[in-house]
Amino acid sequence: MNETVAVKPEELHDLIQNKLEKAGLKKEHATEVATHLVFADACGIHSHGAVRVEYYAEQISKGGVTLDPKIEFEKTGPSSGIVHGDNGVGQYVALKGLEHAIEMAKESGVAVVGISKMAHSGALSYYVKKAAQEELIGIAMCQSDPMVVPFGGKENYFGTNPIAFSAPRKNHEPVVFDMATTVQAWGKILDARSKNKEIPNTWAVDKDGNPTTDPYAVNGLLPIAGPKGYGLMMMVDILAGMLLGLPFGKHVSSMYDDLTEKRNLGQLYILIDPKRFTNLEVFKETIDSMVTELHSIPPANGFDQVYYPGEINQISYEKALASGINVVKNIYDYLISDDIHFDYYENTNAFGEKK
């Protein structure tokens, strides 16, 4: 495994923001992207943290992101709307969309807000946690590159198409979980490459469709639970792509193919105000009771405790804020360097390999 460096969250934020501003991003937008990436790294979601900065910097530098986007909100009904993102940097556009969704959910009880045309938006848990902190239930989903072998097939079609969920609690941080509809997200493969680690043979297949432990041999990811994950990723593509009139399946733009081209990605939020269905305080107390009961279940052999889905990320987040975030040294060296990017990503396939 590659050497890591413990970095204070504030320092990591400043380094990322500085790099993205040098690439050409506006300060307000770079600040939000940096906040998001630090959150992901602190949660232990390193696949969506600082490892992404060089790619973003190259994409921004080459025109693949609109630097001064005209972001518009189109209210299509009492509880529905679309944010037209003009292919601005994904984290900033997605946050603007979330703000509209939160306002709408508080007004009408439910909000369904789509985001049309944006760049890669990072970890969905970041957004749904913000919704839960506003005492709302949050669901988010988004498209991604076609890099998953459909159940029973040999060629890639859908993306990892993640889904995230959150709910507020009475006396604790919200319940939040975030998952790809593949066994693992592509970013986990990217993280394994950065650390020179093998991957489990259940994550992906090589060019011949055989299971592989080599992160550099990956040619297709596998859906979770076979046909069940396959169904979920199709659902996400319909709701976060087709519903918004955007490209779908194998027609979704590649992350790396042409960094001068805008990506036109879609995302969808579904927010629910629990007060419209039940007593809010009782609801939050019930969530706490569920967590307590889960914690009380005797752990199976090889486990220390039963956690609720996403809890380990919350534990990692709290530890990182106190003791620092472990960043792979070559990524840290890049962040403190004067280099903006190294022309690594453009004209590579969906797995970051030169064609």
For the chain, give the percent of residues with pLDDT over 90: 86
What average pLDDT does the segment 148-164 reach? Answer: 93
Is 48 an annotated catalytic residue? no
Which one of 46, 120, 251, 341 is the catalytic residue?
A: 120
* Residue 247 covered by a domain: yes
Q: Over pLDDT 70: what percentage of the chain? A: 99
Say if CB 96 and CB 83 are below 8 A apart: yes
Q: Which structural domain range is residue 212 located in?
A: 4-280+311-336
Whether residue 274 is contained in a domain is answered as yes
Q: What is the pLDDT of residues 185-194, one digit of tens each?
A: 777 887 888 8
CATH code: domain of residue 123: 3.30.1370.60
CA distance 170 to 174: 9
pLDDT for res 245 = 97
Whether residue 1 is predicted with pLDDT greater than 60 in this model: the reply is no
Average pLDDT over residues 156-180: 96
Condensed to tens digits (0 to 9), the pLDDT of residues 7-40 reads 999 999 999 999 999 999 999 999 999 999 999 9
Residue 341 included in any domain: no
Domain assignment present for 296: no
Rounded to 10 deg, the angle between the 90-108 and 125-133 helix axes is 30
Distances (CA, A) of 352 to 71, 258, 274, 302, 343: 30, 12, 42, 35, 12
Q: Specify the pLDDT at position 60.
A: 98
Look at the alpha carbons of 240, 245, 249, 250 in this order and tell me if their dihedral is positive or negative.
Answer: negative
Contact between 267 and 240 (Cβ < 8 Å): yes
CA gap 258, 27 in Å, rounded = 25
**Total domains present in the chain:** 1
Q: Is residue 103 in a domain?
A: yes
Residue 126 lies in a domain: yes
- Using alpha carbons only, give the angle 249, 238, 41 rounded to the nearest 5 degrees: 75
| CA–CA gap between residue 313 and residue 318 (Å, rounded) | 9
Domain-embedded: residue 302: no
Residue 346's pLDDT is what? 83
Q: How confident is the model at residue 207 (pLDDT cuts 50, 70, 90)?
A: confident
Q: Is residue 39 part of a domain?
A: yes
